[in-house]
Amino acid sequence: MTDATDVRNRTKELLAAHPPAGTERTDFLKARFDAGLAWVHYPKGLGGLDAPRTLQTAVDAELTAAGAPDNDPRRIGIGLGMAAPTILKYGSEEVKQRFLRPLWVGEEVWCQLFSEPGAGSDLAALGTRAVRDGDDWVINGQKVWTSSAHVARWAILIARTDPDLPKHRGITYFICDMTDPGVEVRPLRQITGEAEFNEVFLTNVRIPDAHRLGEVGEGWKVAQTTLMNERVSIGGSRLPREGGMIGPIAQTWRERPELRNHDLHQRLLSLWVEAEVARLAGERLRQQLAAGQPGPEGSGMKLAFARLNQEISGLEVELRGEEGLLYDDWTMSRPDFVDFTGRDAGYRYLRSKGNSIEGGTSEVLLNIVAERVLGLPSEPRNDKDVAWKDLAR
Amino acid sequence: MTTQSTQPDLLYSEAEDDLRAAVRSLLADRSDTASVLVRAESGTPYDPELWKALAGDIGAAGLLVPEKLGGHGASHREAAVVLEELGRSVAPAPYLTSSVIATETLLALDTETEAVAGLLTELAAGRGTAVLAVPLSGSHDGHLPVGEPRITGIADAAVADVLLVLRADGLYAVETANVAVEALTPLDLTRPLAAVTLDDPADATRLADAETAEKAVRRGLLAGAGLLASEQLGLAEWCLEETVRHTRERHQFNRPIGSFQALKHRMAQVWLEVVSARAAARNAADALATDCSDAALAVAVAQTYCSRVAVRAAEECVQLHAGIGMTWEHPAHLYLKRAKSDEIALGTPGRHKEALAALVDLQAP
């Protein structure tokens, strides 16, 4: 049984064999993966030690103290948070061996080809087609809101394999090669001025059947693994007090007494309390997971953070008054990831509008909480037993 | 890993779960909402048999008191669990006033003295109750009624055996029987309020000097405010559960009304706030239990947040029960009245926000 001491010893051995000062970043990360210290709860041989997830904290602390490079989780967030757990659960041995190491090391960035212009919150309505041709599947369709598509090497993809079945049952899940000549990525400029998202056009893209995850027609079930992990990963990190968006505005308040008025003060204090409570709720969720008592709270944390980010950043723009009328930079760029603190309040305000839309709109998440957590009855539906091809579009 | 140990423990221990189960089952047997209502209307809301079982048999009254004084040497974390259950059942019981505020105040005095030790032993065993002669609306960092001849709005004064009275020269224990107690008509029928007239009561026992007394009273009120958040949490939880149950069963327009998105979203929102309130209330209880330097901040955060959540959950409970929620027979009104009264008790959210502004250096203009 792997325990904290064992994990710490392995970390020390890794550091001794590959001193961070004299080792290339990716070489160190590969060695770390091979030592089972990438994600200790993953299986042996796949970057882990089959150990409890909680022991990762000890590894990370030891490596940070030694100045070891990390794998830049922000840049590879989709791969780490969504592709990896899905591959681990549904991939063949070959697929796991092929993809997990470069994914974790960051040599290969991933994106997620799920949403479509006609299938956003109603994701199961998607129309991208996958048709079997020998050992391959031939894909045609259009995806949208795809973060990181412009830097991604691989994508997780869901496509319709049987239009005659009801919409949830005719979907299959694939790994798509973004360098395939049939894949075209176009930047999609957003409200912030930058193009963090993309449209992706798929024209006769050939995917080998070996890159299918799960059974044919079981793609919706596989996608649930991805989506659950997407939402949980948002509440999972540990924040210090004032660690989120409340930090910059609190600092501005302290440093700039000339900006203060009573109305702003009352609103700031209320949001400070709510931010602190959301932080504590996230911490409680983390403690529950660590104690092996996962609760349904995860689905709620995203809702709380979305609203708080929007209200706090909106207040911050207002607090800045005359400066709030200005914007730092409208130049179109294509960033690798969202950098909330590297930009001005105006950017935070505009970008946080996406927090209640991306990864499930707040309205859909409230439905999920109401039905799955509170057990309230679902609204009557007329799309469940109808063949996808017969649905209104 | 020192970083680990400074994190508050926000979960419930197994012992706390067991305590919860015992208290919940007792309250379910002896204090269902129908009997709470009957008692409230009778003018004597307290059930002495229930108190004997809760305080004495289960030992809830002595949780904060060390074993050598006849208590259980537990902590605010366990007392908070008892308050969650009392909030969930709106049971009338002088737990917050006697077993938390008065007890915590006494524990901050010199417990070696016979008078203090004797009183604590009685309270811990559930043989007697004491209340601090301070208005329920007062806060730990606000004005204290030092030497005032008449103090109004004291919770549970009419049922307490002993009043703890602040005078200019110290803290005194006064037999309630020896002072004039005038019952007031409270908004919250389950927590009676009274005014007491204190001119020169016989047999007052001095417990502490002025400086010690004031510190101790503030400590008692701080602990009271921190644990009140747990009562508010339990109350909010009941309101949400009952509302969910009702809207699943109640049919209108040929559907359970709980299937309408307009209602579902409101209940999901309350759920999110209840989950958050739990983290805030646990944090306050843990900070008080570990006497950490953050306790005042944790209490201010929990009170600001949980007060609002309880009121909102109770208001949503009334609204989503619609006409039924407006009736005297349905218990929703008991919860709304308790929630609104709790919002003011031991400092309003606004008062706690003011305290917070100073604690986290976010000064007013």
- In this predicted structure, the answer to whether residue B40 has a pLDDT above a threshold of 90 is no
In 3D, which of A46, A304, A154 has the Cα closest to residue B269?
Answer: A304
Residue A230 designated active-site:
yes
Q: Are residues B216 and B106 in contact, defined by beta-carbon separation less than 8 angstroms? A: yes
Average pLDDT over residues B86-90: 97
Q: How confident is the model at residue A340 (pLDDT cuts 50, 70, 90)?
A: confident
Average pLDDT over residues B218-238: 98
- In this predicted structure, the answer to whether residue A1 has a pLDDT above a threshold of 70 is no
Report CB contact under 8 Å: B275, A58. Answer: no
Report CB contact under 8 Å: B362, A371. Answer: no
pLDDT in tens, A189-221: 999 999 999 999 999 999 999 999 999 999 999
pLDDT at B231: 98
Q: Are residues B139 and B176 in contact, defined by beta-carbon separation less than 8 angstroms? A: no
- In this predicted structure, the answer to whether residue A248 has a pLDDT above a threshold of 90 is yes
pLDDT at A233: 52
Nearest-CB residue to B10 (from A58, A270, A283)? A283
Average pLDDT in chain B: 95
What is the distance between the alpha carbons of residues A307 and A233, in angstroms, rounded to a whole number? 17
Report CB contact under 8 Å: B275, A378. Answer: no
pLDDT at B184: 96
Q: How confident is the model at residue A235 (pLDDT cuts 50, 70, 90)?
A: very low
- In this predicted structure, the answer to whether residue A236 has a pLDDT above a threshold of 60 is no
Residues of B in contact with A287 (CB under 8 A): 7, 9-11
| Cα nearest neighbour of A274 on chain B | B305
Parallel/antiparallel/unpaired status of strands A197-208 and B162-167: unpaired
What is the distance between the alpha carbons of residues A137 and A206, in angstroms, rounded to a whole number? 6
Report CB contact under 8 Å: A379, B260. Answer: yes
Residues of A in contact with B284 (CB under 8 A): none
Report CB contact under 8 Å: A370, B276. Answer: no
Provide the β-strand partners of residue A116. Answer: A119
pLDDT in tens, A27-44: 999 999 999 999 999 999
CA distance, residue B304 to nearest chain A CA (Å) = 7
Q: What is the model's pTM?
A: 0.92
Catalytic residue among A194, A230, A297, A316: A230
Report CB contact under 8 Å: A288, B11. Answer: yes
What is the distance between the alpha carbons of residues B52 and B213, in angstroms, rounded to a whole number? 29
Nearest-CB residue to A370 (from B4, B268, B361)? B268
- In this predicted structure, the answer to whether residue A269 has a pLDDT above a threshold of 60 is yes
- In this predicted structure, the answer to whether residue A234 has a pLDDT above a threshold of 50 is no
**Of chain A residues 216-275, which have a CB less than 8 A from chain B?**
250, 253-254, 257, 260-262, 265-266, 268-270, 272-274
Nearest-CB residue to A367 (from B10, B261, B278)? B261
- In this predicted structure, the answer to whether residue A143 has a pLDDT above a threshold of 50 is yes
Among the listed ranges A136-150, B61-75, B194-208, B272-286, which one has the minimum average pLDDT value? B194-208
More confident residue, B202 or A313: A313
Average pLDDT over residues A292-316: 88
What is the ipTM for the molecules in this complex?
Answer: 0.94
Query: Greatest CA span in chain B, whole angstroms?
Result: 69
Percent of chain B surpassing pLDDT 70: 98
Q: How confident is the model at residue A307 (pLDDT cuts 50, 70, 90)?
A: very high
Report CB contact under 8 Å: A253, B362. Answer: yes
Q: How confident is the model at residue A49 (pLDDT cuts 50, 70, 90)?
A: very high
Residues of A in contact with B10 (CB under 8 A): 280, 283-284, 287
pLDDT at A228: 77
pLDDT at B6: 67
Q: How far does CA A352 lie from the centroid of its chain?
A: 15
Angle of helix A4-17 relative to helix A25-34, nearest 10 degrees, comes to 140
What is the distance between the alpha carbons of residues A128 and B247, in angstroms, rounded to a whole number? 39
How many residues in chain B?
A: 365
DSSP state of A387: B
